[in-house]
Amino acid sequence: MANLRSIMKKEPYYRRVQRWKTMWYGQKTKWWYSRFLKGCGNNNVIMPPFFISPEHVILGNQVLIFDYARIEGVTQYEGAIYDPLIVFHDRVQVQQGLYLTCATRIEIGEDTAIAANVTITDIHHPYETIDLPIERQPIVTEAVSIGDGCKIYNNAVILPGTHIGKHCTVGANSVVKGIFPDFSVIVGAPARIVKRYSFEKEAWLRTDNKGNFID
């Protein structure tokens, strides 16, 4: 403890405040939030203010979720009943402003980092019935998964039915829907693959929209 204090005295003031804040909310997550979560490992930190449906959320170990997150499990909508499950695996880091709504299953793999103001949802609001407001029409759900070791950049939107492989990068402001293989660079609205890693050539190479190498 003495060593920690001496290190902190050498840090800028704002760094010390941030460190103490992280430690405080780590303890609060351990002793308070964990009581209500569906599952909770060790050394997790959830920072308020936030909105969360804890009974539908499982945290692995060393998960960090920054301020202003909305992590909501939807259990009923327009008379239909749902059983949502939201899983953050070990060492997932989420920056501020995550908007995540789930009625089926959303799973985020180990060591994945999510930047600020990202949206992830497995819920689609149909619009086909023109004499019924869109918000009152029955929802359609498709599970979402993000693999291990990914990086999702600012303002990206991950839509229902999306499955992203491991070690993928999703560019800022991308709107992502579909199935994407491991080791892909995914950008755009709508998002497409622009690069994949070639184990044969041991390099990241350009691809067409379907992920086929073009170099």
Kindly state the average pLDDT of the residues 19-25: 84
Q: Is the pLDDT of residue 50 over 90?
A: no
Share of the chain above pLDDT 70, in %: 93
Q: How far apart are CA 149 and CA 108, in angstroms?
A: 10
Q: How far apart are CA 138 and CA 120, in angstroms?
A: 19
Kindly state the average pLDDT of the residues 27-51: 89
pLDDT at site 14? 61
pLDDT at site 18? 77
- pTM given for the model: 0.89
Q: Which two tokens stand for residue 94?
A: 């989420």
Q: How far apart are CA 123 and CA 175, in angstroms?
A: 15
170 in Cβ contact with 190 (< 8 Å): no
Q: How far apart are CA 3 and CA 73, in angstroms?
A: 42
Q: Is the pLDDT of residue 4 over 60?
A: no
For domain 32-206, the CATH architecture is 3 Solenoid (2.160)
Residue-wise pLDDT tens digits, 71-118: 999 999 999 999 999 999 999 999 999 999 999 999 999 999 999 999
Q: Is the pLDDT of residue 6 over 80?
A: no
Residue 130 has a CB neighbour count (10 Å cut-off) of: 6
Task: Cis check for the bond before 133: say yes or no (omega within 30 of 0).
Answer: no
Q: Is the pLDDT of residue 8 over 60?
A: no
pLDDT at site 193? 96
pLDDT at site 9? 57
* pLDDT higher at 199 or 15: 199
Name the pLDDT band for 211 (thresholds 50, 70, 90): confident
pLDDT at site 131? 95
Sequence-ordered list of residues with C-beta below 8 angstroms from that of 125, at least 6 positions apart, any chain: 134, 135, 137, 139
Name the pLDDT band for 5 (thresholds 50, 70, 90): low
Core vs surface per residue 163-192: b (16+ CB within 10 A) or e: ebbbbbbbbeebebbeebeebbbbbeeebb
pLDDT at site 215? 64
pLDDT at site 22? 86
Q: Is the pLDDT of residue 138 over 60?
A: yes
Query: C-alpha distances in angstroms, 52 versus 49, 58, 66, 74, 169?
Result: 10, 12, 13, 11, 26
Q: How far apart are CA 185 and CA 88, in angstroms?
A: 22
Mean pLDDT of the chain: 92
pLDDT at site 134? 95
Residue 111 has a CB neighbour count (10 Å cut-off) of: 17
pLDDT at site 33? 85
Query: C-alpha distances in angstroms, 97 versus 55, 65, 119, 164, 193?
Result: 21, 9, 9, 21, 26
Sequence-ordered list of residues with C-beta below 8 angstroms from that of 197, at least 6 positions apart, any chain: 167, 183, 203, 204, 205
Q: Which two tokens stand for residue 53?
A: 């449906």
